[in-house]
């Protein structure tokens, strides 16, 4: 077999294991809300997920960013807000939306509670959830997607659907179906992923007060836009900075820390923090070998980061390692080319679109592919996400939601956060429902009907003057 690079696989018949009105591929933040929205009035909705749980990046220790706008107002509502409310009410699994000078707003969530509540909501909505199931290919006839091929312990099977929503995060379905896609910046460089990990035994009050009470000349975090008052007023918080401490640790101990900033996120449990400091440059989240290398490198980076935290950062003197996230946090892979490509200019100009289906406000936040730094650019207010950016070129009966929508590298750096992805998923699910009910492709649905349904379900949309749009139906009631 030496030298053989290809084998011929015999043709075979593949059983059809399920048929749905709407199939959602991927159970992360966008997939969760897409399935819930699509199932609102009785359609047959399926969701496949390669892992044993739903929630995606909400389960790896990250806070949910994006609920609050740059003016302090809440600009993500609807199903994402209902999910957070249920997490708080039933599992004590989420904080309120906390203002943050750097990230606009952070919402802390408990990963295990996310898994439980998200699954409960899907089951209650009648969504047919299938775990341990990998997407393996798109079934396309005459440029129309008819369903997908899956691989699992069961074997290779087909799932058919009238509309498919790609919430894989990597545009896996769209790419397989033949939709044009892009990756990375002009040089192909993609934002590096992070392997999150958790420490317990941290005196978070000592940490925050050491920053709040530090003399001006020691306030290294000021370069990252978070003033001392924030830490004095908040017991749950995020730290981004302490650059000089990292430099000192590297110089004194020879530590290999691939990040110029200390990034600490308090958990909901007392003394628990999540660390967002590993950085695996050159990882391609669409390549299994590259992902494996990234996991290996990410784990290897943790020991030096823990050594730094315990020996240099106040409050970590008695800290101890507890767990790593179940997978790498991927920031960027493929993006589709859709009917409209969102740009950096759209974000920075706070652009209003007539076909807007969600509003976002998170800044352009790019962990630069070529070094250890980060680029942050704010627009000062909100910007719209147009429905056309969820509709791919070339292939019909397919929608895409999440960070792989049609956007440039720079615009994707703004719309990639979880609350925004949930908002896009909600819109995609509702658009798929309208498509099925009206027996017309997603590209041809009545956008005003979609916007009306969004408003009826409490989604935040803007009028041309920037004010929040109201629901005509709610007003009539």
All structural domains of the chain: 16-187+332-457 (3.50.50.60), 197-324 (no CATH)
Rg from Cα positions in the chain? 22
Measure the CA–CA gap between 407 and 186, rounded to whole angstroms: 13
Phi, psi of 78 (to 5 degrees): 60, -140
DSSP track, 263-322 = EEEE-SSTT-EEE-----TT--TT-HHHHHHHHHHHHHHHHHHHHHHHHHSTT-TT-EEE
Tell me the pTM.
0.95
Q: What is the pLDDT along the chain (477 residues), one digit of tens a residue?
A: 567 788 898 999 999 999 999 999 999 999 999 999 999 999 999 999 999 999 999 999 999 999 999 999 999 999 999 999 999 999 999 999 998 888 889 999 999 999 999 999 999 999 999 999 999 999 999 999 999 999 999 999 999 999 999 999 999 999 999 999 999 999 999 999 999 999 999 999 999 888 888 777 666 554 566 777 777 667 888 998 888 899 999 999 999 999 889 999 999 999 999 999 999 999 999 999 999 999 999 999 999 999 999 999 999 999 999 999 999 999 999 999 999 999 999 999 999 999 999 999 999 999 988 887 788 899 999 999 999 999 999 999 999 999 999 999 999 999 999 999 999 999 999 999 999 999 999 999 999 999 999 999 999 999 999 999 987 665 443
Please count the other Cβ atoms lying within 10 Å of the Cβ belonging to residue 320.
Answer: 12
């Amino acid at each position: 077999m030496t030298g053989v690079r290809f084998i011929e696989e015999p043709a075979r018949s593949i059983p059809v294991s399920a048929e749905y009105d709407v199939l959602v591929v991927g159970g992360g933040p966008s997939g969760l809300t897409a399935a819930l929205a699509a199932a609102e009035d009785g359609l047959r909705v399926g969701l496949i997920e390669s892992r044993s749980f739903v929630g995606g990046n909400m389960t790896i220790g990250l806070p949910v960013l994006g609920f609050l706008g740059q003016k302090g107002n809440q600009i993500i509502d609807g199903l994402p807000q209902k999910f957070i409310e249920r997490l708080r009410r039933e599992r004590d699994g989420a904080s309120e939306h906390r203002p943050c000078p750097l990230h606009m707003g952070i919402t802390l969530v408990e990963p295990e509670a996310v898994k439980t509540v998200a699954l409960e909501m899907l089951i209650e909505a009648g969504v047919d959830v299938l775990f341990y199931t990998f997407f393996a290919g798109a079934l396309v006839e005459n440029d129309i997607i008819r369903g997908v091929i899956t691989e699992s312990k069961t074997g290779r099977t087909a799932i058919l659907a009238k509309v498919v929503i790609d919430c894989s995060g990597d545009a896996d379905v769209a790419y397989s179906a033949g939709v044009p896609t892009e990756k990375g910046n002009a040089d192909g460089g993609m934002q590096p992923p992070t392997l999150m990990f958790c420490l317990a035994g941290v005196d978070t009050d000592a940490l925050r007060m050491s920053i709040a009470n530090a003399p001006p000349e020691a306030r290294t975090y000021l370069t990252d836009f978070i003033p001392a008052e924030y830490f004095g007023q908040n017991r749950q918080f995020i730290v981004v900075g302490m650059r000089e401490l990292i430099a000192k640790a590297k110089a004194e101990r020879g530590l290999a820390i691939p990040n110029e900033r200390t990034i600490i996120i308090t958990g909901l449990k007392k003394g628990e923090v999540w660390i967002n400091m590993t950085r695996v440059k050159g990882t391609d989240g669409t390549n299994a070998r590259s992902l494996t290398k990234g996991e290996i490198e990410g784990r290897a980076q943790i020991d030096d980061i823990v050594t730094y935290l315990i020996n240099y950062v106040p409050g970590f003197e008695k800290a101890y390692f507890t767990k790593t996230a179940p997978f790498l946090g991927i920031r960027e892979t493929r993006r589709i080319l859709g009917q409209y490509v969102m740009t950096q200019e759209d974000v920075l100009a706070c652009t209003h679109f007539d076909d807007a289906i969600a509003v976002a406000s998170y800044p352009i936040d790019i962990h630069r592919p070529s070094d250890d730094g980060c680029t942050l650019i704010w627009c000062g207010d909100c910007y719209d996400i147009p429905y056309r950016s969820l509709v791919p070129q070339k292939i019909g009966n397919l929608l895409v939601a999440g960070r792989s929508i049609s956007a440039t590298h720079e615009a994707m750096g703004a719309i990639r956060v979880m609350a925004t992805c949930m908002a896009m998923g909600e819109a995609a699910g509702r658009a798929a429902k309208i498509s099925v009910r009206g027996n017309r492709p997603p590209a041809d649905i009545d956008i005003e009907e979609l916007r009306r349904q969004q408003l009826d379900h409490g989604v935040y949309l803007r009028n041309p003057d920037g004010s929040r749009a109201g629901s005509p139906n709610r007003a009539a009631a």
